[in-house]
Structure 1
């Protein structure tokens, strides 16, 4: 029989090459031959079993050892750590300490990695203290793992401290820091760390490039991204799929679709689901939904299976565009790929149906979720807010709390919006004041915007003004716009002028301030002021946002502007419009001509109102959709008072339910009434 050193070399070879069967056979031969398995050989066997992933055999052998040394303990600790049995890693380390064995730097590193994987930062801090006591904290391997542990546990300050105290830094430690910065959102620090790494002359690998590119994409730093692109090509990493995906993401984030396409390439080789999903999301971000679906078709054609992120991006696009037909088709695909139980996908579906006007379907999808996450609850609260159902939103919020979930800033934006649109001012203020005190959520700009809107809608203009003056943050354009809108509704000229001046100063190119103030003047028949304001807009080249509406018929979206005569079926549309006008006149409809802020003949105003885009879209939907299909009209700006009144009458005379989504909320018209109760 060979000597122990030779046998150990055989075992070591089997460990490195992961030849478990040969290693096990050799172990069996040693036992059968009665060869004495001393601590030295047993440690090599422990290492071999651990490297081959046979931890139970390693543990069985370890338990039979009459004498163990620090190598034995280290083999077990590193074995558990490398095989992701992290709790047993920590347990074995504690047993080693109880056995009065001093840990090695490898044992330290393994146990710190296990603590990081479990997110046990307090345990990690204890290991840090122990490493200082044992003089291991400055060891490169231990220091890198400590920095990694702190960054993964979200404590970048401590990670930086460990990193800076390391006397020697290598590629691994730098990579750890760059990755930590990128994942914790300190993107600028990630780029600075990359520059320092370059200056130190260290070798850059694909992992460093991926982390740095991700940080670059988050910052939309296109110039830096192009510089990194050059480095990728020089280092020969352009064919690495992960690097290509990260690089493509940089271009997609800044809307540079041409360069993104160049990285994406014309050949499917090298692309994966991440590549395709990133590209889909890129098109979604710039509202090119059809191209996003083209990419989706392409990935399916090449046999690549979509994942939850693919579906989430596409369903989100359908939600934002209120593209119901495509959303329904995606829902069917979600079922096909068994992703209906994914919490994020189901939450996006709740949002999609809500934004497409199908409230009942939105609720149904939510109720089918086994254990709704906070994202799902937030989606449902948001849906009720969009539909002006304040009491339902409050009830959902209460259910969320009862189910042990904690609300966040997004929850309160939806809840306050729901209270605002439903006229629940007292309830909304109660929730606003409870945010920080009860739930630990510090109010931000968006929450104050909701409160100003809430007070303004309920006519409490003085309280709204006081709230603006006492805010701990500088009021933004949205806050002044909400306040100005309330001043328009209640005819408060003085406060309206103040709000308009503030808004014009913040956003001089925004036509909203001019239009709303013009409406205030028109309401008081101050036509000279209206003309002066309109002249100021012309002189400053401030253009009013044109209103347009759209409806989906079949698989096509039909878009209409005011006085739109371009549609192929224009003759039928305007015949239907005239017929509707006659019918609602007889039903008691009286045009509200004050909503047109111009000094002109009343009959001309009535004609303009009669040809608003939402009425043209509704007329087209009525002649195109079968009787049982819901009519859903979408509009890019707030519906005017007159069209709102006309839609109520139309719902009664045609006996159809009509849903109108403007840029603020949904209106459900039926039998001459609207779900908003004329409060919007």
Structure 2
């Protein structure tokens, strides 16, 4: 401050020297010392009769650089004479603040008074036109007429304007026609490609930039890394990372964020965490959110939550993307307790009205089986996006409420919300779970003709599931034969499961062969085929399949069920499990089995696919993991709290029958989420109406 105070008492000789005045003003501008600029301006007005354009232009630039646009505009309006520099400085000031109307007005007035714009004036007004590409095209035409089409600044800003307006082909044409390209024009072009989904072009551009020896900065590195992440081009991304290390840009926050995001998207969480920890002092909420999202996508929910806790402890404020990722993680794991806590945080931090977060909450409650909560939250959203509608439909679909899925879809169309591919997956699966075959087929057949959505392999597999689940195996055969490509694993698995239920051995063997070819390491085809042979008491075929599995080093996926009590997840298996309350749990289960037997429960012994006596089969059935989990939940959870059991496999018909009666016996609702859908058990009934 002493330096500037000593400068304010300036001699008359200095005030009369335009070059000396300009040097001082540049010094004040560089340090953003607005009060010094104002004081100096006042001295000039008091001491001089006339302040020339040269000094006024420097004052104009100083006010603009100090962020005082009002003073700059007042000075400009009161200038007795304005030259090209004055006009260009004012247009630049408006452009930097995205004031398109003001920049356009100044540019038009400049031309009206007869001042011909130069390349810098064109560049500035083009920068302002990024939000109005129509006006930008007019300026482009004028620049060509004025002979500035090949100027570097004009060309770079035109390419940038077109790319930011999603006119990538126009941007590319401008860029290729530029006789000289600097690092700014290259960066603008690569960034435009990356942001609008032209990832391959972005990476090709980055390669050309390296070959041409253009200077590389942190911005272009971030764009190249982001494009690698979007393409899941891990090898290329690692090469760019090496290049980043050589240039010393890894500690730049933007580059670090891009690297964390890239490694997260290619599911290399070890590398993502290493980059993050290496520059954690410079990481921001974007970095933390990228890491959290990576953990969520790789089903590492505990690490995602730990990272969130670390973020809050460092005093950072989570954003809407942070919360949506965490809520999605709770949805995927049906982790209701953590989801409820996150919901409270969302309300506390006033994110509940955010469309991304609110849609994620709708999805989470639906995936946790609390579909009433999901619908209630959805109806609180003012203008639901397609993501919100899809989240609600997904919840209804997984909970077997097919009619509600159809009703929601029809309401969505009435509200003029355009459905997408995910919408039709939810819609057809909702029809499948509810047995609405005709409705599901009608929607599939009208996808492209009426709604403009081309069916993908996933949609075809949903139709196979729709027909197979309804027992229409002949219709499923005809549909598969008419498909433009082979069904995927989900399609064949749905078909095979239907063959198992229907006891159709010939079709099951055909489907199992197809599934084994697609996924030779998956044991589900062998297990389902074995169950058909066991039902027919073809024990030799059962033993042959088991030998095939042993020779191929395939193991049957063990069934597990788990339930959240307090802040802990309790996991149970049919045999391999331990628990401090194991004796009490078995005692409770035995009493429940005795009670439901008095109510008419009869064990479904055919579920056990081994050659043994009936009493052994009944004992094995009694200790299925979901029954153990129900017994533990009944004795551990208060009566007002919902019992939510999660299972990694499809619930068997015996457990389904038993839990219906258990729910009636204890007078409570029991929700079971298996690997296919939700079952809501209450008063001796299930929401699936025994159709699953």
Matched with 2:512 is 500
The 8 Å contact of residues 530 and 609 in structure 2, kept in 1 or not, is answered as yes
- Provide the secondary structure at the position in 2 that maps to 1:275: helix
Question: What does 1:161-240 correspond to in 2, within 5 Å?
Answer: 161-240=173-252
The 8 Å contact of residues 488 and 516 in structure 1, kept in 2 or not, is answered as yes
Alignment size in residue pairs: 678
The 8 Å contact of residues 256 and 279 in structure 2, kept in 1 or not, is answered as no
**1:129 Cα deviation after fit:** 3.9
**1:635 Cα deviation after fit:** 0.6
Alignment deviations for residues 336-386 of structure 1 (CA, whole Å, 9 cap, x no partner): 222222221222122222222222222232233333333222211111111
Structure 1 distance, partners of 2:187, 2:279, is: 31
The 8 Å contact of residues 53 and 83 in structure 1, kept in 2 or not, is answered as no
Instruction: Decide which of 459, 465, 468 is 2:471's aligned counterpart.
Output: 459
Matched with 2:482 is 470
Residue 284 (1) aligns with residue 296 (2): yes
Structure 1 distance, partners of 2:406, 2:101, is: 42
Instruction: Decide which of 83, 88, 102 is 1:88's aligned counterpart.
Output: 102
Residue 303 (1) aligns with residue 293 (2): no
Provide the TM-score with structure 2 as the length reference: 0.89
Is the deviation greater in 288-297 or in 246-255? Answer: 246-255
Question: What does 1:563-602 correspond to in 2, within 5 Å?
Answer: 563-602=575-614
Residue 611 (1) aligns with residue 629 (2): no
Instruction: Decide which of 126, 133, 156 is 1:112's aligned counterpart.
Output: 126
Is the deviation greater in 577-586 or in 227-236? Answer: 227-236
Is the deviation greater in 220-229 or in 641-650? Answer: 220-229
**1:84 Cα deviation after fit:** 1.6
Is the deviation greater in 651-660 or in 106-115? Answer: 106-115
Is the deviation greater in 643-652 or in 242-251? Answer: 242-251
Instruction: Decide which of 357, 365, 368 is 1:353's aligned counterpart.
Output: 365
Alignment deviations for residues 379-423 of structure 1 (CA, whole Å, 9 cap, x no partner): 111111111112222222233334443222222221222121111
Structure 1 distance, partners of 2:510, 2:104, is: 64
Structure 1 distance, partners of 2:606, 2:108, is: 80
Matched with 1:382 is 394
Is the deviation greater in 92-101 or in 143-152? Answer: 92-101
- Provide the secondary structure at the position in 2 that maps to 1:269: helix
> Structure 2: where are the runs of 5+ without partners?
1-14
- Provide the secondary structure at the position in 1 that maps to 2:671: strand
Is the deviation greater in 253-262 or in 429-438? Answer: 253-262
- Provide the secondary structure at the position in 1 that maps to 2:282: coil
Is the deviation greater in 37-46 or in 663-672? Answer: 37-46
CA shift in 2, pair 1:103/1:418, >3 Å: farther
Alignment deviations for residues 100-122 of structure 1 (CA, whole Å, 9 cap, x no partner): 65443223323332332x2x444
**1:36 Cα deviation after fit:** 4.9
Matched with 2:351 is 339
**1:134 Cα deviation after fit:** 3.4
Is the deviation greater in 227-236 or in 258-267? Answer: 258-267
Matched with 2:262 is 250
CA shift in 2, pair 1:28/1:348, >3 Å: same
> Structure 1: where are the runs of 5+ without partners?
none
CA shift in 2, pair 1:97/1:654, >3 Å: same
Structure 2 distance, partners of 1:440, 1:125, is: 31
Matched with 2:423 is 411
Question: What does 1:503-518 correspond to in 2, within 5 Å?
Answer: 503-518=515-530
Structure 1 distance, partners of 2:645, 2:443, is: 33
Alignment deviations for residues 179-208 of structure 1 (CA, whole Å, 9 cap, x no partner): 223223333433332232222222222212
Residue 677 (1) aligns with residue 689 (2): yes
Provide the TM-score with structure 1 as the length reference: 0.91
Structure 2 distance, partners of 1:345, 1:269, is: 28
Is the deviation greater in 330-339 or in 394-403? Answer: 394-403
CA shift in 2, pair 1:100/1:300, >3 Å: same
The 8 Å contact of residues 350 and 380 in structure 1, kept in 2 or not, is answered as yes
The 8 Å contact of residues 571 and 577 in structure 2, kept in 1 or not, is answered as no
CA shift in 2, pair 1:596/1:102, >3 Å: farther
- Provide the secondary structure at the position in 2 that maps to 1:265: helix
Instruction: Decide which of 624, 628, 650 is 2:640's aligned counterpart.
Output: 628
CA shift in 2, pair 1:521/1:66, >3 Å: farther
